């Protein structure tokens, strides 16, 4: 659990610059750090320093609890009206024969494949396609709820919603009300990319603006619903633009409280128009998790999305502010494998998930999509523990 010892040592360490000691003091006092402080952390501090601060906050907020869920993805299409420069996965409509476009029935087949299995969430993400309009998604969500009412639908992002509501001449509120009535339970954090308009124009031109992204989340939260937030980092953005991005999220969260988790997404550089941009190091990934944990004092959860960051860095991140590693996934997403991530067929068994967390001394908790605990796996013994990796629990 959170102890002040390491923080106190930093505060008293006169070999550290005053700014570093003052920021540590703010954390100990439970005070919010400023945007200038956050920029200072990015520009002038090392991993071990931010790690101590972030771990203190993580343990104060969540103890050793580390959450995961049992989920699968459906990616209805990779054909897209946009062509974001970082996207390895999408195909333009003129090249649609190279991609896939699922029908409602094909998506229901995927949902039915999980009948009788203990998954709790389906996550929809993918390209933006003109024929997938408001009535299409309403029908999809209704059919899923009719088939399996308890399955949580986490679906789409303001990128799709802005596009389909405009086409239907609906206000954001009218559109989100219709999605909720059809069965949408929560919104994932995608499509945020980086809010700075200049960088956004260069890497994600044409799709919804930062203001539109934030407005749709705001409306969703005002309806009493929840969502996540992401930040695509480690490409051509500056540290100041990362701070600006997180600051806009922190301000909205002050107003609504509707965000559950913040998920930094590391730019992966294979098979896209930005392959010449090198990826940042794992040290920078961990620093970024830590600084987001320190800055976003009003977010309860920081998530490392393991299919994107890789299992090893996800595991290490649990000492740098992260307290959630997403889900079992069951090899149902292609976004990251196509962009060069380590796992080409991302899937983790419950035992792998639990042992990833347990091996670094944290407490594995299966959660539902709204972070209500389903099961504490701390003392669970798995058949496969005796068969692989040479460790057995107990
Ligand atoms: O918005 C696409 C990102 C996002 C690349 O809310 C890339 O629980 C890095 O938002 N390198 C979609 N990132 C995925 C997403 C998400 C994932 C897991 C959980 C949740 C949640 C949300 O993926 C896109 C974009 O930022 N992305 N291509 C790439 N080459
Ligand atoms: Fe389309 Fe999303 Fe890829 Fe952009 S990131 S091209 S909106 S699928």
Residues near 324 by beta carbon (within 8 Å), at least 6 away in sequence: 66, 67, 68, 261, 301, 302, 303, 304, 367
From atom 8 of ligand 2, which residue's Cα is the shortest distance away?
Answer: 127
CATH 3.20.20.70 domain range(s) in the chain: 66-393
Query: Atom of ligand 2 at shortest distance to CA of 159?
Result: 7
Dist. CA 360–CA 363, nearest whole Å: 9
The DSSP bridge pattern shows strands 91-92 and 121-124 to be: unpaired
C-beta 207 within 6 A of ligand 2: yes
Atom of ligand 1 nearest to the CA of 87: 28
Q: Quote the CA–CA distance of 305 and 337 in Å, as a whole number.
A: 13
Ligand 1 pocket test, pick from 128, 157, 190, 371 with the greatest ligand atom count within 8 Å of Cβ, gives 190
Task: DSSP for 279-328, please give it.
Answer: PPPHHHHHHHHHHHHHH-TT-SEEB--HHHH-HHHHHHHTTTT--EEEE-
Binding site membership of 82 for ligand 2 (Cβ less than 6 Å): yes
**DSSP label at residue 364:** E
> Which atom of ligand 1 is found nearest the CA of 274?
30
Cβ of 274 below 6 Å from ligand 1 = no
Architecture of domain 66-393: Alpha-Beta Barrel (3.20)
Q: Is the pTM of this model over 0.75?
A: yes
Residue 44, Cβ neighbours under 10 Å: how many?
A: 11
pLDDT level of residue 330 (50, 70, 90 thresholds): confident
pLDDT at 390: 41
pLDDT in the model for residue 346 = 74
pLDDT band at 384 (very low <50, low <70, confident <90, very high): low
Q: Tens of pLDDT along 290-314?
A: 999 999 999 999 999 998 999 999 9
pLDDT in tens, 334-353: 766 777 777 777 788 899 99
Q: Select from 77, 78, 84 the residue to mutate for testing ligand 2; criterion: most ligand atoms less than 8 Å from CB.
A: 84
**Cβ-Cβ contacts under 8 Å for 144 (sequence gap 6 or more):** 108, 111, 122, 151, 153, 183
| Residue to mutate (ligand 1; options 67, 74, 227, 230; most atoms within 8 A of CB) | 230
For residue 53, give the H/E element and its range: helix 47-62
> Per-residue pLDDT averaged across 219-240, rounded?
98
For atom 8 of ligand 1, the residue with the nearest CA is 188
């Amino acid at each position: 659990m959170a102890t002040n010892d390491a923080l106190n040592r930093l505060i008293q360490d006169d070999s550290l610059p005053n700014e570093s000691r003052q920021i540590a003091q703010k954390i100990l006092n439970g005070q919010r750090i400023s945007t200038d402080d956050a920029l200072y952390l990015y520009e002038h501090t090392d991993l071990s320093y931010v790690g101590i601060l972030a771990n203190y906050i993580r343990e104060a907020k969540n103890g050793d609890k580390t959450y995961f869920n049992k989920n699968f993805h459906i990616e209805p299409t990779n054909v897209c009206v946009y062509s974001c420069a970082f996207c390895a996965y999408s195909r333009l409509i003129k090249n649609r024969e190279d991609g896939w476009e699922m029908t409602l029935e094909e998506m229901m087949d995927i949902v039915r494949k999980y009948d009788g299995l203990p998954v709790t969430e389906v996550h929809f993400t993918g390209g933006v396609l003109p024929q997938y309009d408001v009535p299409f998604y309403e029908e999809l969500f209704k059919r899923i709820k009719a088939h399996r009412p308890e399955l949580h639908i986490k679906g789409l992002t303001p990128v799709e919603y802005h596009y389909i509501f405009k086409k239907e001449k609906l206000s954001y509120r009218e559109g989100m009300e219709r999605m909720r009535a059809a069965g949408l339970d929560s919104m994932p954090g995608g499509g945020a990319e980086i809010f700075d308009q200049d960088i956004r124009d260069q890497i994600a031109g044409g799709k919804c603006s930062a203001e539109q992204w934030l407005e749709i989340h705001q409306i969703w939260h005002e309806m009493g619903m929840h969502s996540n937030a992401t930040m695509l980092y480690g490409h051509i953005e500056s540290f100041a633009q990362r701070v600006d991005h997180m600051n806009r999220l922190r301000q909205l969260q002050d107003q609504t409280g509707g965000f559950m988790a913040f998920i930094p997404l590391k730019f992966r550089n294979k098979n896209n128009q930005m392959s010449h941009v090198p990826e940042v190091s794992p040290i920078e990934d961990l620093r970024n998790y830590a600084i987001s944990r320190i800055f976003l004092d009003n977010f309860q959860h920081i998530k490392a999305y393991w299919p994107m960051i890789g299992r090893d860095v996800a595991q290490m991140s649990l000492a740098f502010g992260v307290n959630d590693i997403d889900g079992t996934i069951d090899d149902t997403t292609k976004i990251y494998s196509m962009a060069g991530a380590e796992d080409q067929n991302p899937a983790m068994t419950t035992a792998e998930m639990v042992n990833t967390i347990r091996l670094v001394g944290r407490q594995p908790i299966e959660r539902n999509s709204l972070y209500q605990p389903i099961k504490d796996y701390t003392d669970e013994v798995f058949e496969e523990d005796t068969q692989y990796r040479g460790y057995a629990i107990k």
